Amino acid sequence: MIPIKAFVAAAVLIVSTTTAWAEVRIQEVVSPGGITAWLVEEHSIPFTALEILFKGGASLEPAGKRGATNLMTALLEEGAGDMDSRAFAAAADGLAASYGFDVYDDSLSISAKFLTENRDQAIDLLRLALTEPRFDQDAIDRVRAQVVSVINSNLLDPGKIAGRTFDQLAFAGHPYASSRDGTLETVAALTREDLIAAKNGVMARDRIYVGVVGDITPDELGKLLDTLLGGLPETGAPVPDMAEYQLKGGITVVPFDTPQSVVRFGVEGIARDDDDFFAAYVMNTIFGGSGRQSRLMEEVREKRGLTYGVYTYLVPMDYGALYLGSVSSANDRVGQAIDVIRDEWAKLAKDGVTAEELASAKTYLTGAYPLRFDGNGPIAEIMVGMQKTGLPLDYIATRNDRINAITLDDIKRVSKRILRPENLHFVVVGKPEGVESSE
Amino acid sequence: MRFFHLAVMALTVLSRPALAQEISTFKLENGMEIVVIEDHRAPVVVHMVWYRAGAADEKPGVSGVAHFLEHLLFKATDTLKSGELSDTVAANGGSDNAFTSWDYTAYFQRVAADRLDLMMTMESDRMRNLRLTEEDIATERDVIIEERNTRTENSPDALFGEQRRAALYLNHAYGIPVIGWKHEMEKLDLPEVLAFYKQFYAPNNAILVVAGDVQPDEVLAMAKAHYGPLAPTVDLPKRARPTEPPQLAERRMAYEDPRISDPYVIRTYLAPERNSGDQKKAAALVMLAQLLGGDANTSYLGRKLQFETQTAVYTSAFYSGKSLDATTFGLVIVPSHDVSLADAEKALDDTVVAFIKDGVDLEQLARIKMQLRASTIYEADDVQSLARRYGSALTSGLTIKDVQDWPDVLQAVTPEEIIDAAALLLDKKRAVTGWLSAPKKEGASQ
């Protein structure tokens, strides 16, 4: 690669942001080669956590190649450069470095952890995995068999069936409609060339975000970034179209012989950059997002003992959004659980929340926020998420103000806009008694 | 192979890190033990109370009562309304939860360090002053049955695991699931719950672990104020559980469930646990599990059964030494599509024999020891897991010194000790072998 500013020391911009409790001092580091990373120096423990995210992920693969990104990602650690998979694993073990590779619908992420004293070797090994993976045929066949095993197992897992069914109904025709593992057919057909194409499409420098926390200086990091990522292609695959939400209100029962029905329910959601996202976030906390304290937990579990857990979550993906919930209840009681959820859903859509609920959600959310910054790895991950979402360097300091600014009217507006009880759809996997598919 | 040489060099470079956390220990007059772990990087604290009471301390016939009580501890006391403790933690921006095992039940909150006093106020209150109603029992019993549905009834692996465990322990309560047998859970009632609570939830049966941005003397003063006045349980019996008789007969089980996609063979052996002042054997078993079935790419089973032959899609060996009484060592093999369970089991057995004959791969042992050394550096980043380590050790018959000696005991394990420990795997009389598969379908092609 051609360095943009050869031999120039890493450019550094520092924003200190003091939350109520902790100070997270984020520096923006631009490498001599022009790669940007956010860094928090933490020299008290001699290791570094490195988080890399490539925006795009499995949604970038062509329709007939479903599962290519997933299989490719699983093979990154299975041999690189002149090392086969065993030699690679032995080298990583010997350095006590750990590398995690994960693929999602909208991203591919790498989480690495390495000691200060063998940092150069650990980075060199990771560089090999990112830039010179071998994709040997025997490794492809071995890992493919593992993926097939996962696909087969998911076909018989009620939770997975529920999630997959909801996605299919919601986003038919879009990559979001299918599992990124691929199907038995598509995975069987994948070739080495498909994996190389998937890698070059996903792991490119025009879509990369980096967060680093630990025992490393800006200068050291600048050099490291160029070594590690300089060899990746400049540009990757084009992004997919927006996903059109197609699901109407109702119930879909997927018959499955198991004692407890597993339910996925939801409506279309709200984008992360929507002006109402924070209002929706607070609404969800009150409704089903905060665990034991949520309305749904109170009504479905605490008052009626109908489930071990009921949760809701906002799913703002890059090309579509969902507002989802999940619950599991014995086959003879799940109908009752669905009725309670439907009633609560309608009530929230109509009346919003109380002043007391809003106040306690705010104390909870603002108090809990600083507790997220606990350890090098979690902070690196938060910084990458902020960059991907386009949040500014000083976001951490302003985030609680944004939560505190939400009013009862905001919640009422956003509840009305998102919840739409007539659109609420339940997918029920099991042998539910007295629950039938609509239409 | 240049990386390999670099790796070996690194072994000699990494000295023992000077990272030992500041640990302070105290004991209150009423018998409550206190462990304080300091980490001043962030103004956060983890507050935990561990009881030396778990599912294996239940009386016969009331399986699940320890875990049921754990749920009920979030109900009302004289001063707290039902759910108020968690609501208060949340209102202070914290999180809280609890967990139950065979050897312990533990409760924790994670919160800003300046809220520690409030946490102790509430946690000490519910140690002795719980006020349960019949309605609490009825509703929460439904919840734990739904929890069992989620964790066990809906999972053929978990159902089979229960059956195998019940067969492995002929006499010890480790053979009974922590969540309880369903037919016994359905009958759990207030008297059984209160009997367990009154006997075991007492300061002389509890360990307080506080980890984070705190000063030990301040923690002690706070603990004296809140936990100090609590009355101990007099005549708390020694934890002597029924022990295993000589196990003379190999046990084999087969379970069929249509919800299974890939059949597999899993075997668990009765194995020695870590004992106070005597952790060598357990350390050898930790190394054995790593060498035999740790990383698939480098472990012996992985190499022989997944790489050199394509007998299996997955193999593993697993062992956990932290247990008050005899623990388990396990082997698992998920065969490749065209390999039968019988052939897979034979290949597994042959490979274990070959491992013992070949002896320990010294380079691999060195790499594992290097990883263990480095883990003490990585773990310093996670004070909550350190707190858990001390709490679980102290409720499993170990001491602070045992926990602190453990890394050195692991480093001192010799290849001979590992091969000696592996002899355990040749004695199937002390093991249960399980085959899990889907029932054959009529006219199915395969």
Q: Which residue of A has its CA nearest to B113?
A: A21
Same domain? For A50 and A93 the reply is yes
The span from the CA of B184 to the CA of B196, in Å, is 15
Where among A229, A261, A276 does a domain terminate?
A229
> What is the pLDDT at residue B12?
32
- In-domain check, residue A237: no
Contacts of A87 in chain B (CB under 8 A): 1, 3-4
Q: Looking at residue A263, which CATH number applies to its domain?
A: 3.30.830.10
What pLDDT does residue B37 have? 95
Domain co-membership, A53 together with A180: yes
Cross-chain residue pair B260–A156, CB shorter than 8 Å: yes
Catalytic position from the list B70, B192, B273, B417: B70
- CB contact A78 to B (< 8 Å): yes
pLDDT bracket for residue B339 (50, 70, 90) = very high
Tell me A275's DSSP state: T
Enter the DSSP assignment of A302: I
User: Which residues on A lie below 8 Å from B262 (Cβ)?
Assistant: 149, 152-153
Query: Are both A215 and A266 inside the same structural domain?
Result: no
Please tell me the predicted confidence (pLDDT) of residue B42: 84
B157/B161 Cα distance (integer angstroms): 6
Which among B11, B112, B262 has the least Cβ separation from residue A21?
Answer: B112
Domain annotation covers residue A236: no
**A193 to each of A303, A382, B52, how far by Cα in Å?**
56, 34, 58
Residue type, B226: H
Instruction: Tell if the CB–CB gap between B298 and A260 is shorter than 8 Å.
Output: no
Residue A104 sits at the chain B interface (C-beta within 8 Å): no
For Cα atoms A84, A50, A128, give the angle at the middle one, nearest 5 degrees.
25
pLDDT confidence of residue B443: 52
Predicted local distance difference test score (pLDDT) of residue A372: 87
Interface predicted TM-score of the whole assembly (ipTM), two decimals: 0.90
Q: Considering all CA atoms of chain A, what is the largest pairwise distance in Å, rounded to the nearest integer?
A: 72
Does a structural domain hold residue A240?
no
Partner-chain contact B150 A146, CB within 8 Å = no
Query: Across the interface, do B377 and A45 touch by the CB < 8 Å criterion?
Result: yes
Which of B87, B143, B295 is the closest to A93 by Cβ?
B295
Interface test with chain B among A118, A184, A311, by most B beta carbons within 10 Å: A118
Decide if A242 is inside a domain. no
A213 with A260, same domain: the answer is no
Residue B399: pLDDT above 50?
yes
Q: What is the pLDDT of residue A20?
A: 42
Q: What is the pLDDT of residue A145?
A: 94
pLDDT tens per residue across all 439 residues of chain A: 333 333 344 555 555 554 444 568 899 999 999 999 999 999 989 999 999 999 999 999 998 999 999 999 999 999 999 999 999 999 999 999 999 999 999 999 999 999 999 999 999 999 999 999 999 999 999 999 999 999 999 999 999 999 999 999 999 999 999 999 999 999 999 999 999 999 999 999 999 999 999 999 999 999 999 999 999 999 999 999 999 999 999 999 999 999 999 999 999 999 999 999 999 999 999 999 987 789 999 999 999 999 999 999 999 999 999 999 999 999 999 999 999 999 999 999 999 999 999 999 999 999 899 888 888 999 999 999 999 999 998 899 899 999 999 999 999 999 999 999 999 999 999 999 999 999 7
Domain hosting residue A403, numbered range: 250-430
Q: What is the pLDDT of residues B106-129, one digit of tens each?
A: 999 999 999 999 999 999 999 999
A:335-394 residues touching chain B, CB 8 A cutoff: 360, 363-371, 373-377
Q: Domain total for chain A?
A: 2
**Residues A305 and A181 occupy one common structural domain:** no
In the sheet that A107-115 helps form, which strands lie side by side, from edge to edge? A11-18, A23-30, A36-41, A208-214, A47-55, A107-115, A98-103
Is residue A436 situated within a structural domain? no
Instruction: Check residue A9 and give its pLDDT.
Output: 45
Question: Based on the domain organization, do A209 and A277 belong to the same domain?
Answer: no
A188 inside 8 A of chain B by CB:
no
For chain A, the straight-line distance linking the first and the last C-alpha, in angstroms and rounded, comes to 58
CA of B140 to nearest chain A CA: how many angstroms apart? 6
Look-up of token digits 């109170």: A298
Task: Indicate if the alpha-carbon torsion angle B201, B206, B212, B213 is positive or negative.
Answer: positive
Query: Would you give the DSSP letter of residue A180?
Result: T
Longest CA pairwise span in chain B (Å): 73
Enumerate residues 11 to 40 of chain A having a beta carbon within 8 A of any beta carbon in chain B: 21-22
Contacts of A392 (CB under 8 A, 6+ apart): none
Residues A148 and A289 in one domain: no
- Using a 10 angstrom Cβ sphere, with 0-12 exposed, 13-18 middle and 19 or more buried, the burial of residue A249 is middle
pLDDT confidence of B442, banded at 50, 70, 90? low
- Judge if A155 and A40 occupy the same domain: yes
From the list B122, B128, B117, the residue with the least C-alpha distance to B224 is: B117
Answer whether A115 sits within 8 Å of B87, measured CB to CB. no
pLDDT per position as a tens digit, B80-103: 999 999 999 998 889 999 999 999
Contact at CB, B297 and A292, closer than 8 angstroms: no
Q: Answer yes or no: B70 catalytic.
A: yes
* Residue B14 binned pLDDT confidence (cut-offs 50, 70, 90): very low
Tens-digit pLDDT profile for residues B300-333:
999 999 999 999 999 999 999 999 999 999 999 9
Strand-pairing partners, residue B177, are none
